[in-house]
């Protein structure tokens, strides 16, 4: 038995020697790995050299050239500024510098773009209050429908920057086209002339609003038909009518039947809503890479004048009204009319929802000129403390009379 076990022990020893030999070879394995890494680094360097030969250039951005206008076709108010206009421009430039210094993270304001003749004009002077002799344009819906149907819209290029030029309403009507700022300026001129408290709003909107994409909106003609049907359903109650016969059915059975019917209707309504949610999810537009950055202009009509019960927006491209809580508009930078300019100081992280339009509240709206017809929210104690160290001669109030340079719109 011992002789039979000896060779087994020897074989085990030989296996252990083989294992020790395998364990004693890590240096060779490391050398092989080092060779592989060297080969890999050499290949990587060669690939790096080949890739370095490739020069990538950004694609050229071709912007559409601006249309040229003959200055001889325009009056002198288009080609030069009066001393009062230059004073207003200097005041606006001072306002802009203070704004940039205090709010460096906000975009620049739309204050003094150039007109057709390349002359800087303050935006408030571009609004020419006009009342036309057509009765259809006396109401806001008629005026907005006229602007939307008569003009062809042009997109801003690029869509995330303010336009460098603002054409007058006279030129816009002659060309029958314009961008959102020119649409809004013309519509605001007509609305103020008709007696509305209207303002041009500069801010941000959704992609569908900026592109006038109404493919996912309900047709306004269908809305009008539904309202007419509801009005027809209402029947007039006559004073003298025959009393209906007495109902002899069990009230308990009627209550049970109505409960069963209501449960069925609730179940049907629930299924319908689920189907609508699924359909809406399928029809959801693709993600917009410029969401919240697309610059847009529209019109704000405040309540009060012309018996307007509540404030609302008007989309100039479509001529339709929207609530001031609309999700189509994502933020407001500033607004103006023919008399003053206001900067929005409120948070727009949730869009225009919850914004206050009390333009006399200086904590929410910073105005440029003091000749505002709004009652201002003042703090007399603070103002007295600030004015204690000044002489009466040094305390002056500067008022600017805002005017316009645009020729009569009805002459076009």
User: Which residues make Cβ contacts (< 8 Å) with residue 382, sequence separation at least 6?
Assistant: none
The domain locations on the chain are 71-212+289-411
Least confident of 93-102, 106-115, 130-139, 307-316: 130-139
In degrees, rounded to 5, the angle at the alpha carbon of residue 246 between the alpha carbons of residues 242 and 247 is 130
Q: Is the pLDDT of residue 38 over 80?
A: no
Average pLDDT for 328-348? 93
- pLDDT at residue 285, rounded to an integer: 78
Strands 152-153 and 177-178: parallel
Question: Which range in 33-42, 209-218, 232-241, 396-405 is most confidently predicted, on average pLDDT?
Answer: 209-218
Average pLDDT for 337-360? 92
Average pLDDT for 181-193? 94
Least confident of 21-25, 133-137, 256-260: 21-25
Average pLDDT, the chain: 80
Kindly report, residue by residue over 277-312, the tens digit of the pLDDT.
888 788 777 888 999 899 999 999 999 898 899 999
Kindly report, residue by residue over 245-289, the tens digit of the pLDDT.
888 888 888 899 999 999 999 999 999 999 988 887 887 778 889
Average pLDDT for 112-120? 92
Percent of the chain topping pLDDT 90: 45
Structure tokens at 6: 């000896």
Q: Does residue 214 or residue 25 have the better pLDDT? A: 214
Q: Does residue 83 or residue 220 have the better pLDDT? A: 83
Fold of 71-212+289-411: C8orf32 fold (3.10.620)
Cβ atoms within 10 A of the Cβ of 362, count?
15
Q: Is 336 left (phi over 0), alpha (psi -120 to 50) or beta?
A: beta
Distances (CA, A) of 17 to 5, 8, 11, 29, 364: 19, 14, 10, 19, 88
- pLDDT at residue 371, rounded to an integer: 64
Average pLDDT for 58-72? 71
- pLDDT at residue 378, rounded to an integer: 46
Least confident of 7-11, 90-94, 296-300: 7-11
How would DSSP label each residue in 196-229? Answer: -EEEEEEEEE-HHHHTT--TTSPPHHHHHHHHHH
Least confident of 7-21, 105-119, 227-241, 318-332: 7-21
Q: Is the pLDDT of residue 60 over 80?
A: no
Q: Does residue 30 or residue 61 have the better pLDDT? A: 61
């Amino acid at each position: 038995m011992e002789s039979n076990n000896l060779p087994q022990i020897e074989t085990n020893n030989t296996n252990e020697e083989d294992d020790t030999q395998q364990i004693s070879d890590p240096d060779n394995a490391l050398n092989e790995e080092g060779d592989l890494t060297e080969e890999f680094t050499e290949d990587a360097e060669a690939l790096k050299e080949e890739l370095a030969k490739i020069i990538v250039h950004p694609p050229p951005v071709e912007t559409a050239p601006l249309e040229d206008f003959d200055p001889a076709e325009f009056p002198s108010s288009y080609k030069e500024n009066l001393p009062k206009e230059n004073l207003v421009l200097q005041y606006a430039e001072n306002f802009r510098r203070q704004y940039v210094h205090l709010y460096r993270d906000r975009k620049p304001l739309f204050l003094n773009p150039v007109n057709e003749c390349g002359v800087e004009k303050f935006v408030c002077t571009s609004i020419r209050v006009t009342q036309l002799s057509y009765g259809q344009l006396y109401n806001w819906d008629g005026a907005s429908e006229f602007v939307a149907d008569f003009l062809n819209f042009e997109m801003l290029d690029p869509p995330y920057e303010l336009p460098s030029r603002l054409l007058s309403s006279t030129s816009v009507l002659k060309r029958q086209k314009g961008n959102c700022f020119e649409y809004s300026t013309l519509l605001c001129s007509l609305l103020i002339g008709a007696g509305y408290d209207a303002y041009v709003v500069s801010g941000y909107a959704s992609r569908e609003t900026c592109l006038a994409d109404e493919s996912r909106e309900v047709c306004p003609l269908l809305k009008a038909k539904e309202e007419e049907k509801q009005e027809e359903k209402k029947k007039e109650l006559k004073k003298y009518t025959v009393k209906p016969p007495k109902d002899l059915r069990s009230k308990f059975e009627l209550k049970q039947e109505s409960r069963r019917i209501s449960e069925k209707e609730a179940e049907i309504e629930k299924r319908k809503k689920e189907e609508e949610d699924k359909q809406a999810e399928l029809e959801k537009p693709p993600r917009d890479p410029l969401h919240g950055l697309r610059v847009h202009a529209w019109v704000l009509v405040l309540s009060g004048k012309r018996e307007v019960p509540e404030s609302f927006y008007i989309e100039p491209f479509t001529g339709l009204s929207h609530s001031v809580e609309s999700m189509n508009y994502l933020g407001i930078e500033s607004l103006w009319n023919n008399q003053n300019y206001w900067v929005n100081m409120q948070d727009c992280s949730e869009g225009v929802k919850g914004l206050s339009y009390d333009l006399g509240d200086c904590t929410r709206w910073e105005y440029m000129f003091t000749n505002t017809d709004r009652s201002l929210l003042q703090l007399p104690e603070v103002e007295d403390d600030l004015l204690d160290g000044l002489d009466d001669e040094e305390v002056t109030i500067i008022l600017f009379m805002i005017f316009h340079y645009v020729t009569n719109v009805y002459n076009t």
